[in-house]
Chains A and B, each alone.
Chain A
Amino acid sequence: MRAIPFIPARSIIPGYGLAFGFTITYLCLIVLIPIAGLFIRAAGLGPAEIWAILTDERTVAAFKLSFGAAFIAALINAVFGLLVAWVLVRYRFPGRRLLDAMVDLPFALPTAVAGIALTTLFAPNGWLGQFFEAQGIKIAFSAAGVVVALTFIGLPFVVRTVQPVLEDLDKEREEAAATLGASRFAVLRRVIMPTLLPALLTGFALAFARAVGEYGSVIFIAGNLPFKTEIVPLLIIIRLEEFDYAGATAIAAAMLILAFAALLVINLVQVWARRRYGAA
């Protein structure tokens, strides 16, 4: 018998029609139709106009900043997220549970609050900003500030994807490697890292994807100078406030396509890593 999409196998559990019907209706009304609307509007612009909008110098600069800063922030998060996950799982020290709970703060703290707090912290006269100022480094109101904000909001993604894998890691495999004469460094590199790599890549990709679209925490610290410290989501809002609906729509559609492409790459990388390094 050929399987028909969305028709379940026979089951004595009731309520599929109601549950599925409600799910799909709600999904269409809230998510799919509005997003389809955006693409229909973008398609109505015509290729020439879309090309003109997307190759505009200001748009290109914003895309470079958004994706570049998100990439650097995700890299920083990969390093420090791995460190934090490692220390939280492997070592015991006072305050560990508190720190473990704190890792989720960027998920729970509204982005606008994070934005004004980080800006005040890294402003030239701020608690941390003054030290950088003394070295002649400007963090708030520069591209570095964008990276700081994006690192803040992306941190939990890496920690929370690496942590469970690290907890499940079999100590006996490390012991076996050690008894076979591997040095600690060799064990880290050849036993632990390959097991962690898929989770680390996933965490990196999730942090990157989140950072690319982030708005609230960035706009306070960025300074928002066109061509210099203007991120893509802000440019969309500016175009909208100028009643330039075509501009806002084209940029948003491009951004969505890139986000979906990123999602696809994440899935492919995960599949590849799972094949290469076993289940993670």
Chain B
Amino acid sequence: MARLDLFQAMAARSRAVAAAATGESVLPRVLLTTAAVLFLVVFLMLPLVLVFMEAFRNGVGVYFESILEPDALAAVRLTLLVAAISVPLNLVFGIAAAWAVAKFEFPGKGLLVTLIDLPFSVSPVIAGLVYVLLFGSHGFLGPWLAKHGIEIIFAVPGIVLATVFVTFPFVARELIPLMEEQGTGEEQAALSLGASGWQTFRYVTLPNVKWGLLYGVLLCNARAMGEFGAVSVISGHIRGLTNTMPLHVEILYNEYNFAASFAVASLLAFLAVVTLALKSCLEWRYGDQLAATRRH
């Protein structure tokens, strides 16, 4: 009996030693936590809080006036339109790319994946510029487009193109690792049981990746609605016509109309908060059904 007590005492002591050796004591722990929390609060929370405070600074009346004014409404409509076109395009692309990369073995796969990620390492301003050089009046196709009366630069198609460019990899890079991890076993089983290729995709692959797909779409949409640099180069800033919400924020801000600027900005900040909330929900609930190693 005494021997058992001794063992227990020894075990307790070694656990305490291990805890002391692999963790920090209370003081450094509190100091480190305080520093990290302070940093996050000052750097992330304060700007977010400030957007909403500034938006309502001149009262609720001014706030609603600013976001219901025709130019602001036109900006909201254009932003929704651009996202409604570019997100589905990149969704289809993401699925196609993930199917080819994850379900097949072929030489040159690494190169293809690198090329898909390429838009992330291109400055948004350059993303806009490449289309200006292609479709602008001095561009390769500019004269031809002008002759046929097709407007791309300083018009909605250009804004959509620039947005598609900067949001290009979002869905693909979420789906590729996920589908690679899941392998082809289930698809092969479905096919050998007589399912067609489309049925296999629709009833086997798609349900397996649905949360990952939603996750990719969520990030893609947030970036599509918030893109500034690329769209700024290509839009021409025509009020009521080619002004997206982020561009409208800039114009109002540069006119020193801060309350209105922050009012429109608060809509975008609200979108960001909703995106983060949904994203966190997905991670907590379905974390095991998202790409295991996530790099942004």
Contact = CB atoms under 8 A, between A and B. Distances in A.
A262 B123 CA distance: 13
A256 B269 contact: no
A23 B112 contact: yes
A37 B107 contact: no
Contacts of B253: 116, 220
B124 interface: yes
B222 A107 contact: yes
Interface residues of A, number: 107
A31 to B, nearest CB: 6
Contacts of A236: 125-126, 129
Contacts of B47: 109, 114, 117-118, 121, 152
A175 B187 CA distance: 44
Given A16-B100, A161-B295, A175-B18, A103 B188 contact: no
A255 B51 contact: no
Interface in A195-245: 202, 206, 209, 212-216, 220, 232-234, 236-237, 240, 243, 245
A214 to B, nearest CB: 7
Contact of A101 (B121, B219, B277): B277
Interface string A140-154: 000000000001100
A134 interface: no
Given A30-B168, A216-B228, A178 B22 contact: yes
Contacts of B275: 108
A184 interface: yes
A189 B271 CA distance: 42
Given A91-B29, A113-B269, A121-B50, A216 B229 contact: yes
Given A109-B272, A216-B228, A259-B123, A34 B131 contact: yes
B36 A260 contact: no
Contacts of A84: 36, 39-40
A263 B119 CA distance: 12
Contact of B296 (A19, A102, A156): A156
B9 interface: no
B77 interface: no
B32 interface: yes
Given A13-B184, A109-B272, A175-B22, A93 B134 contact: no
Nearest to A192: B22
B36 A110 contact: no
B33 A87 contact: yes
A152 B130 CA distance: 27
B50 to A, nearest CB: 5
Question: Chain B at the A interface: mostly helix, strand, loop or mixed?
Answer: helix
Given A9-B105, A14-B197, A83-B36, A22 B96 contact: yes
Contacts of B200: 13-14
B22 A13 contact: no
Contact of A120 (B54, B92, B250): B54
A189 B261 CA distance: 48
A47 to B, nearest CB: 20
Contact of A8 (B104, B119, B122, B268): B104
A109 B226 contact: yes
Contact of A245 (B103, B138, B245): B138
A30 to B, nearest CB: 6
B43 A237 contact: no
Interface string A74-106: 000000100110111011010101011111111
Nearest to B115: A27
A161 B32 CA distance: 20
Contact of B43 (A16, A22, A120, A155): A155
A15 B99 contact: yes
B36 A35 contact: no
Contacts of A108: 219, 222, 226, 271-273, 275-276, 279
Interface string B251-272: 0010000100110010011011
A65 interface: no
29 contacts: A3-B107, A9-B104, A11-B103, A11-B184, A16-B104, A19-B97, A27-B116, A30-B164, A37-B130, A38-B129, A101-B276, A101-B277, A107-B219, A107-B222, A108-B276, A109-B269, A110-B245, A112-B268, A113-B246, A116-B262, A121-B46, A151-B43, A178-B21, A184-B20, A184-B24, A209-B121, A213-B124, A252-B125, A252-B129
For the complex of A and B, list the 8 residue pairs with the smallest distance between their C-beta atoms, beginning with the closest. A110-B226, A213-B123, A178-B21, A216-B228, A14-B197, A215-B229, A117-B47, A34-B130
